[in-house]
Structures are given as C-alpha cells and as structure tokens.
Amino acid sequence: MPSDVRVRIAPSPTGPLHIGTARTALFNYLFARHTGGTFLLRLEDTDTARSTAAFEKDILDGLHWLGISWDEGPGVAGLEEAGPYAPYRQMQRLDTYAEAAARLLAADLAYPCYCSPEELVADRKAQEAARLPTRYVGRCATLTVAERAAREAEGRPPATRFRVRPGVVGWNDLVRDRVEIDTANLGGDFVIVRGDGDPLYHFTVVVDDAAMAVSHVIRGEDHVSNTPKHILLFEALGHTPPVFAHLPLILNPDGSKMSKRKSQTAVADYVAQGFVREALVNYLAFMGWSPGTEEEIFPLAELAERFELEKVQKGGARFDRERLEWVNGQWIRRLEDEDLVSRLMPFIEAARIAGEIDRTPGEDEVRALLPIVRERLPTLAAIVDTVGFLWVDDLAVDPAAMIPKRWDAPTTLTGLTEARAALAAHDAVTWEADELEPPLRALVEVRGWKAGDLFMAIRVATTGRTATPPLFDTLVALGRERTLARLDAAIVRLAAAGTLAP
C-alpha cells in the first residue's frame, strides 16, 4: 500500500557519524518502512567552517553499514543523486533559500538587521547582568527605508531576521502529546540568513522540509525548543507544518546528553571494536522503544514490522555498553558460518598487522574454529584474544605460569613430559579430540593426579593462557606438530628454570 509518509535524516557533516544520529536515522527508517513511506537523506552542510567531505563519507558509509538505506539522497561517496527533490545537499540549494528569504523580506515577515556582533554581545551581557532573559532587542526591527539606506552606506552587511509574532505556538507531538510554547520565550526575532549570505539551520531545515514534502519530522528531544521557530517559519512560508515526534535523548552513563567527552560516540569506533551491525541496530532500537513483549533480539526487518512511534519512551536512555556487548554476543551466535568468518577475517588481519600474531589463518581454518569460539566472542575483535595463540610463532611461556596451583615444578615437568609422550603416540590421522583425551585420562589415573591439573599444565604450556576453549579441541586446532613443539619448548623452559632455582 503506497503511503505519503515522508521522513528524513538530515545529518550535518561536522563530525563522524554519531550514535545519536544513527539512532534518529534508525527510528526514521523504521517508521518509513513500517508505514510504507519514503525515507530520505539530506546533507545539512551550511556550516562551511566545520563541514568536511571526510565526515560526509563517514556518515554515509556508517549508515549504509548499519543497513539504514535511504530512498532519496545526495550524490556523494560514490552514490548517485537519487530522488525527485534533488539536490539533497543544502549548499547546492542556496538559491532556494535565497528565494524564500527574499519572499519573507518582501512581505516584511523578515527584515535586514545591521547589528554588529559587538552590539549583540553587549545586549546579551546587559540582559544577563539585569537577570533578564536574553533576547534580541529589536534594534533593527522598525528601521525606516532611510535608516536602512544609511547603514547600507556604511557598508554593514545585513543579516536577515525573522519577525517572531506574539502568541502561543503548539503542536501535537507524536511522542509527548500536546506541547505549547509562548513565542515570547523564543529569544526575539532570530537570524535566518547570516551577514555573509549563508542561510542558517532553522531556516534551511524548514525550507527543505517543505520543499521535499516531509510529512513527519522525527528528531531528538533537544529540538523541542526549536520547534516553535520552525512552525512559525512554515506558516510564514505558506506551508502546513509537518507532524513532529521528539525522541528521548541517548545519555551518557551519568545521565547527561551523550557526548564524545564522556562516551564513545562514533559509530566507526564500535565497528572497529567488532560490534556487528545487527547488534548495534537491535540495541539502538531498544533505546527508547520497546515492542511491549519480552522478546528482545530482532533483525532490522522485524524491527520495522513492529515499530510504532506510540510506543516510544519519553525519558532519556543511558547508554549501557555491557548490554550492547550482550546483544552483540547474541547476534554473533546467530550469524551464518560463512558470514561470521568473513566478518572475523579483517580483525585477525588487523591483529597481524599490529604484530599481535605472526600469521593470518585461511578462511577454512577460521571456519573450523567456529564451534569452539562462537559462544566465547562478545565482539568480533575478541577472536584474537580467544585463540590468537594459534597464530603466534614463539609463545615463550613463563615457566612459573605452567605450574598448576596444586602442583610443584617437578610434578609439572613430569606431567608435561609424560603427556607429551602420550600425545606423540597419535599420528596425524588420529589427532582428534576424542582420541587425545582417553590416554591422558589414563595417565592421570595411573599417577593419581587430578585431570584438571594436568590439563591446566598442558593448556598453559601450549597456549600461554589459563583460559582457552576446551583443551583437546584447542590442541586439534593447533595441530600435532605445533602441539608437540610447544610442549617440548615448555619442558625445556621449565627444566631450565628448575636448574636455576636455589
């Protein structure tokens, strides 16, 4: 069923893709997909001083990586400009804003303002000193034609200010119901076009949302106080305002608005740490929304199926990394083998480049490891921490670490030596977990040891770690030759340490 729902995400390329932007994009996307509407992306790059092409790419790549695809958007980062309302980049729409501003000026709904930054700052300081609300004093609001001409003659570049009419502006927010704000609290007439001719956010966002027929504006709660300005502008421009829905904010652990200072906010960082897109999307969807059931692991398509703005929470949600890791683990356990392997490879290769391991295994080798590593991975990057020892040439294990708690050095030396002999009895064909275990159990039986002690000694001697996947599976993954070589090396080191001891 076709729908006239049109929503958008309008990122500003002044920084890398932020978790908050991704969440807002996701909710818009889910709403569009749920209603059969259209989701568009518009680049708000009018802050030329801070916008960069690199940030644009990071944002678009990040959104694509998450699977949040748009139906209409700019031609950027290898993409084709797509959609009937092109261009979707504000710096390419300057004539549209200029035309709209001219219309407002002509109708005296806006006026040129010649106040200098110094005057404005002085006004604000005076108001603060008098403990009054800060607002534009209206110095240029009622200038005569002659007065304007005089200022023009002085060469002052005028900004364009929008006349804020008295009264109350209200709207029925889809998340927080009725909201009403007295325009007296808006800070006076506000600038819509800077002195240098660049249009400002409050203006461009309205001109574009109107031009692009955006039906629902779904954005963060931090925009609630801006909404009256936007509604006033829609009215002045002769458009019916869209429906608004203000989402709760994503918060730092301390409850303040999520910031780079207190949290990891760049989506790219989570990608680099081995979070999978399904988990990030799943987790983000549940920040401020819930299907009302007790299920919590959903793929993107199912989220879209169930998503309803009516079920969005009003209060902010603190970002909980531990919970994200749990969701990530859930998703890693659900991925198809081939898929998981291909996602794991880059992390293994990165570890090799970083010198943490000496060789990169083939995909087949990694696939064979899946049964023993899968449920041990909170993140993709954890693969190296879990079984990286398999790909290291020389472990150089500390002899002291090889000695189990209940054992001493001589016992450990004996244990490793006899275990080595027992294992060496297997050829490459019988080098299977089921085959390796019985002889060692028998050895333990004969010696009167505890299996756990012997196994731990072998574990540390062959992996350098006290925590690994199941020992025999690990030895199989290591292979006969390397297992025996590591055992030999461990025995030598342990013996040498014993010799040196007093």
Partner RNA sequence: GCCCCCAUCGUCUAGAGGCCUAGGACGCCACCCUUUCAAGGUGGAGAUCACCGGUUCGAAUCCGGUUGGGGGUACCA
Amino acid at 148: R
Cα separation, 240 vs 231, whole angstroms? 8
Cα separation, 383 vs 379, whole angstroms? 8
Cα separation, 229 vs 243, whole angstroms? 14
Residue 87, both tokens: 């261009």
Cα separation, 393 vs 69, whole angstroms? 44
Nearer to RNA, 195 or 498 (CB): 195
CB of 322 to RNA, least distance (A): 4
Cα separation, 416 vs 404, whole angstroms? 12
Nearer to RNA, 92 or 313 (CB): 313
CB of 12 to RNA, least distance (A): 3
**Helices 480-500 & 451-463, crossing angle to 10 degrees?**
100
Residue 328: HSE in the Cβ half-sphere, 13 Å Cα cutoff: 21
CB of 270 to RNA, least distance (A): 16
Nearer to RNA, 39 or 97 (CB): 97
CB of 313 to RNA, least distance (A): 4
Enumerate the β-bridge partners of residue 312.
Answer: 289
Catalytic status, residue 260: yes
Nearer to RNA, 14 or 360 (CB): 14
Residue 409, both tokens: 């050095």
**Quick one: which H or E segment has residue 190?**
strand 190-193
Nearer to RNA, 120 or 489 (CB): 120
Per-residue burial over 367-385, b if 16 or more Cβ lie within 10 Å, else e, is bebeebbbebbbbbbbbbb
Nearer to RNA, 37 or 404 (CB): 404
CB of 501 to RNA, least distance (A): 26
Residue pair 465/459 in contact (Cβ under 8 Å)? The answer is: yes
Residue pair 215/5 in contact (Cβ under 8 Å)? The answer is: yes
Nearer to RNA, 44 or 56 (CB): 44
CB of 334 to RNA, least distance (A): 11
CB of 172 to RNA, least distance (A): 12
Nearer to RNA, 39 or 203 (CB): 203
| Environment class of 243 (CB within 10 Å of its CB; exposed 0-12, middle 13-18, buried 19+) | middle
CA geometry: angle at 25 spanning 24 and 27, to 5°? 65
Give 218's contacts (C-beta < 8 A, 6+ positions apart). Answer: 7, 24, 27, 28, 31, 174, 244, 245, 247, 309
CB of 113 to RNA, least distance (A): 6
Cα separation, 288 vs 77, whole angstroms? 31
Return the sign of the alpha-carbon dihedral for residues 406, 407, 412, 414.
negative
The 3-class SS string of 93-140 reads CHHHHHHHHHHHHHCCCEEEECCCHHHHHHHHHHHHHCCCCCCCCCCC
Which is the catalytic residue, given 125, 260, 314, 450?
Answer: 260
Catalytic residues: 260
